[in-house]
Amino acid sequence: MVNKSIVFIFIITTSIFSFLAYKPADVVIAGPLMTDQELFDEELEMLSEATGLKIKYIELIDVEDYLINDNSNSEVDLALIPNPQGVVNLGERNIIIPISKLVNDIKLMNNFSNHLINITTSEKTKENYGVFFRLLPNSFIWYDIEKFQEAGSPVFQSYEDMVSFTRERANNGNETWCLDSESGASTGWIATNWLEDLILHEYGPEIYDAWSQQSLLPGSKEVILSINEIGKLIFIENGVHGGNERIVRKEFRNNFINLLSDETDCIFSWSGQYADYYMPEGSEFGIEYDFFKFPSSKNPDAMVGIGDILVALNNNSNSLIIFEKLISDQFGASWMLNENSSYVPANMNNNNLVSNKLLIKQIELTKQALRKDIFRYDASEIMERRIGADKLLASLKEYIDLGSEEAYKNLELIIEDLQSSF
């Protein structure tokens, strides 16, 4: 006679494994929550109808961590990773599949910049593990249109021009910048964007790449001079709303409220694409606010940014179909037509129609950088995390908070401390 307990255990165990093995769709994609997630979901629905494949998107806070620790049942087929270092890490762990097994090299090189290909390539295995899906450009100066016009609608050819303009207004008792950057434990990440803009635009992509790869040390003249350039702006007396002591103490979202406020003098905010998301409710791009590209006389088309990278955990026929569709120059046609779209494709040959004036501007500037291969990924995200996400942030936060006199006096010590981590 069969033991009933054994039968019961068998049934329960089988049920559990069946549940774990169940796939809710033909292709499951894991990725971060996007600001316009519903538009991406709609695009996926249309892709599902066109291919006959059911697609499910799973929103995760930390996709990389999930794929390493929690994806034991291999439910996920494709994933969007917001970090090239994370992509390489997953590849070297054999969790994701090399791109050479997914996409033709020629197709890749014809549609994506060399830089975007290189930073998802492992030095250890010599394999590329991801293809950029979308980009979020950072190198923008946002402004209040009315205040900007009242100030004479200045045109800047260089960063030095902006510093001179700031000093001139300060001498007349007017603030120019809203630069709040407090962000909890991550305070300092906005300042790293400023530093990256200055290094790339002043010294070009080769120096920038050396910096991001940690072969250009913090004690190098290019880094020291760039940090000092930040100081030239933020330490101008009356140049920044609330002074330098406010910058790392007030939440960064304040910038955009203060920028459009009639009660402040500040005209500009040095921020990335994310700024549009935090503009006061009811304000309109092109009516209340606008932006221009970070000015540079040496590398005017350069752009720093971040983005999401598409990776594959398997290369079955369904996954391959969707993978190629997502990185094609045709993807996002409906998404990009929506007025609320924030999708900037990484495929530089994507020429879908765009109705959003802000997005048109961002895409054009980003394409210029991609085609000249002078778009560079956020260096702090490429560096080892203990440096880029920790030590660098802390060093810049300290520098800003010290104020002019103390910052210049202690810069050498700050640099030495940062360099000890490299």
Closest C-alpha to 345, from 355, 336, 356: 336
pLDDT above 60: residue 73: no
What is the rounded average pLDDT of the residues 328-344?
97
Per-residue pLDDT reduced to its tens digit, 287-332: 999 999 999 999 999 999 999 999 999 999 999 999 999 999 999 9
Instruction: Give the pLDDT band (50/70/90) at residue 15.
Output: very low
Domains and CATH numbers, the chain: 24-137+306-362 (3.40.190.10), 140-301+384-419 (3.40.190.10)
pLDDT of res. 373:
98
Q: Please tell me the pTM assigned to this model.
A: 0.92
The helix (H) or strand (E) run that includes residue 55 is strand 55-59
Per-residue pLDDT reduced to its tens digit, 103-141: 999 999 999 999 999 999 999 999 999 999 999 999 999
pLDDT above 50: residue 2: no
pLDDT of res. 18:
40
pLDDT of res. 210:
98
Per-residue pLDDT reduced to its tens digit, 251-282: 999 999 999 999 999 999 999 999 999 999 99
Please give the residue that has the higher pLDDT: either 19 or 422.
Answer: 422
* Mean pLDDT score across all residues of the chain: 93
pLDDT of res. 71:
62
- Helices of type H across 22-133: 37-51, 63-69, 84-92, 105-111, 114-118
In the block, tokens 């599949």 appear at 97
pLDDT of res. 72:
57
The helix (H) or strand (E) run that includes residue 165 is helix 159-171
| Under 8 Å between Cβ of 55 and 322 | yes
| Spatial separation of the C-alpha atoms in residues 171 and 26, rounded to whole Å | 64
Phi, psi for 198 (deg, rounded to 5): -70, -45
Closest C-alpha to 169, from 219, 115, 250, 237: 237
Phi, psi for 68 (deg, rounded to 5): -80, -45
Can you read off the two tokens belonging to residue 139? 């190198």
| Under 8 Å between Cβ of 257 and 288 | no
| Spatial separation of the C-alpha atoms in residues 19 and 104, rounded to whole Å | 36
| Under 8 Å between Cβ of 226 and 198 | yes
**Among 2-11, 86-95, 199-208, 339-348, which is the least confidently predicted range?**
2-11
pLDDT above 80: residue 225: yes
pLDDT above 60: residue 9: no
Can you read off the two tokens belonging to residue 379? 């260096």
Instruction: Give the pLDDT band (50/70/90) at residue 70.
Output: confident
What is the torsional sign of CA 58, 62, 64, 68?
Answer: negative
Per-residue pLDDT reduced to its tens digit, 143-160: 999 999 999 999 999 999
Closest C-alpha to 58, from 36, 77, 42, 43: 77
pLDDT of res. 75:
87
Percent helix, strand and coil across the chain, each to the nearest 5: 50, 15, 40
Amino acid 315 reads N
CB atoms within 10 A of CB 124: 8
| Under 8 Å between Cβ of 402 and 410 | yes
Per-residue pLDDT reduced to its tens digit, 380-419: 999 998 999 899 999 999 999 999 999 999 999 999 999 9
| Spatial separation of the C-alpha atoms in residues 186 and 131, rounded to whole Å | 27
pLDDT of res. 24:
79
Closest C-alpha to 178, from 245, 60, 270, 307: 270
pLDDT of res. 13:
41
